[in-house]
Amino acid sequence: MSTDRRLRVLRAIVEDHVRTSEPVGSRALLERHGLGVSAATVRNDMAQLEAEGLIQAPHTSAGRVPTDAGYRRFVDSIDEVRSLRPAERRAIKDFLADPTDLDDVVERTVRLLAMLTRQVAVVQYPSLTRSVLQHVELVPMGERLMIVLITDTGRVEQRLVDLPEGTDAEDIRGLRDLVNGAASGRTFTEVHTALEALRADRPGEHLLGVVCTVVESTLTEEREERVALAGTSSLVRHTTDFGPALEEVVQALEEHVVLLRLLQHTQPGEGLLLEPSVAVTIGTENDHSGLTTASVVSTTYGADGVGALGVLGPTRMDYPGTMGAVRAVASYLSEVLDNR
């Protein structure tokens, strides 16, 4: 029973500190929360929580604040994240309705997430390596041929190759149908096998070989994934929380590699919470020395986790509310991509 009670005391300290940004004392806990115990019991529980490294005194006052370990215990004890209000859900749906293209979808999503959470929002573009090839279009452009690859998430890649003399529109249409018949609707790994078989069946067709090679190399080449960022101005509201580390936080946000690494915690097996794709990393858990005063709440979106999104803020964060907002936005983004 005392363990359960101490957890209630810890939750109360976290909630009060997040709301007020001030150290929390035993008197305030008794006044604001129905703990049903004496002041002496609360003080004893706080002493035990401090001995366990879950709270600490920031200075010589009677109040205590959560440590990273305290926030972790709090987050791990969350049974249900806070649901968005119906008005908020309608706003999300309206905000993401009828996008013009993939860039528009991502830009709307990252701005929406920043507004809902009042934190820095990050959205990873759908990853090519986890996508399905939807269509290959071949567009003649004088002496050159544009090869256009369209994925199931709406991502588009374009490449130009030289067009052999004497190639007419019917030849190009036939080639397009051949390539799509072999590759469309397949994962990128499957595309490679399918196009290898197609080339083997038609070894003398030079342009077919060129197109297949370009498609394969485009889908397998190493490239930095793209991310979109919004809400960096919110950091100004948290200068006290971040302290001297604020400059390091800003520098980290300027590096896309760092942002992608932060979102990797949403992948299976990385300390997931509640649903298979919701994750929280707190303070020193972040894989970057400049983010020891920050927390990241992230999740995947789309079929098979084709991309990830999340928010970054101080460790003094409304975790249930932030987790609910991140999960809801990811759900709506998945619907938008499914309907494209």
What pLDDT is recorded for position 50? 93
Question: Using one digit for the tens of pLDDT, what is the confidence trace for 61-106?
Answer: 668 999 999 999 999 988 877 788 888 888 888 888 888 888 898 9
Residue 60 has pLDDT above 70, yes or no: no
Residue 8 has pLDDT above 50, yes or no: yes
**Terminal-residue alpha carbon distance, the chain:** 52
**Which of the given ranges, 125-139, 175-189, 254-268, has the highest pLDDT on average?**
175-189
What pLDDT is recorded for position 112? 94
Residue 267 has pLDDT above 70, yes or no: no
Are 2-76 and 129-220 the same fold in CATH? no
Residue 290 has pLDDT above 90, yes or no: no
What's the mean pLDDT in 26-41? 85
C-alpha to C-alpha distance for 103 and 293, rounded to whole angstroms: 31
Q: Which CATH class is domain 129-220?
A: alpha beta
Q: How many CA atoms lie within 13 A of 9 on its CB side?
A: 30
CA distances from 158 to 161, 175, 218 (A): 10, 17, 9
SS3 sequence of the chain? CHHHHHHHHHHHHHHHHHHHCCCECHHHHHHHCCCCCCHHHHHHHHHHHHHCCCEECCCCCCCEEECHHHHHHHHHCCCCCCCCCHHHHHHHHHHCCCCCCHHHHHHHHHHHHHHHHCCEEEEECCCHHHCEEEEEEEEEECCEEEEEEEECCCCEEEEEEECCCCCCHHHHHHHHHHHHHHHCCEEHHHHHHHHHHHHHHCCCCHHHHHHHHHHHHHHHCCCCCCEEEECHHHHHHHHHHHHHHHHHHHHHHCCHHHHHHHHHHHCCCCCEECCCCEEEEEHHHCCCHHHCCEEEEEEEECCCCCEEEEEEEECCCCHHHHHHHHHHHHHHHHHHHHCC
CATH number for the segment(s) 86-126+225-338: 3.30.450.40
Q: How confident is the model at residue 12 (pLDDT cuts 50, 70, 90)?
A: very high
Sequence-distant (6+) residues with CB within 8 A of 333 are 96, 105, 109, 301, 302, 309
What pLDDT is recorded for position 165? 86
Q: How confident is the model at residue 266 (pLDDT cuts 50, 70, 90)?
A: low
Residue 277 has pLDDT above 90, yes or no: no
Residue type at position 244: P
Q: Which residue has the higher pLDDT, 265 or 205?
A: 205
What's the mean pLDDT in 143-163? 87
**Closest to 308 (Cα-Cα) out of 330, 332, 328:** 330
What's the mean pLDDT in 114-136? 86
Q: How confident is the model at residue 258 (pLDDT cuts 50, 70, 90)?
A: confident
- Find residue 159's DSSP bridge partners: 147
Residue with the two structure tokens 């894989």: 287
Residue with the two structure tokens 């749906």: 93
How do the domains of the chain map onto residue ranges?
A: 2-76, 86-126+225-338, 129-220
Tokens at 69, concatenated: 């370990």
- Find residue 147's DSSP bridge partners: 138, 159
Which sign does the torsion angle of CA 97, 234, 21, 261 carry?
positive
Q: Mean pLDDT, the chain, as a whole number?
A: 86
Burial grade of 166 (CB within 10 A; 0-12, 13-18, 19 or more): exposed
Fold entry, domain 2-76: Arc Repressor Mutant, subunit A (1.10.10)
What pLDDT is recorded for position 271? 41
What pLDDT is recorded for position 224? 52
Residue with the two structure tokens 């909630």: 15
Question: Using one digit for the tens of pLDDT, what is the confidence trace for 291-339?
Answer: 999 999 999 988 777 789 999 999 999 999 999 999 999 999 988 887 7
C-alpha to C-alpha distance for 43 and 278, rounded to whole angstroms: 34
What pLDDT is recorded for position 268? 40
C-alpha to C-alpha distance for 273 and 170, rounded to whole angstroms: 54
What pLDDT is recorded for position 129? 64
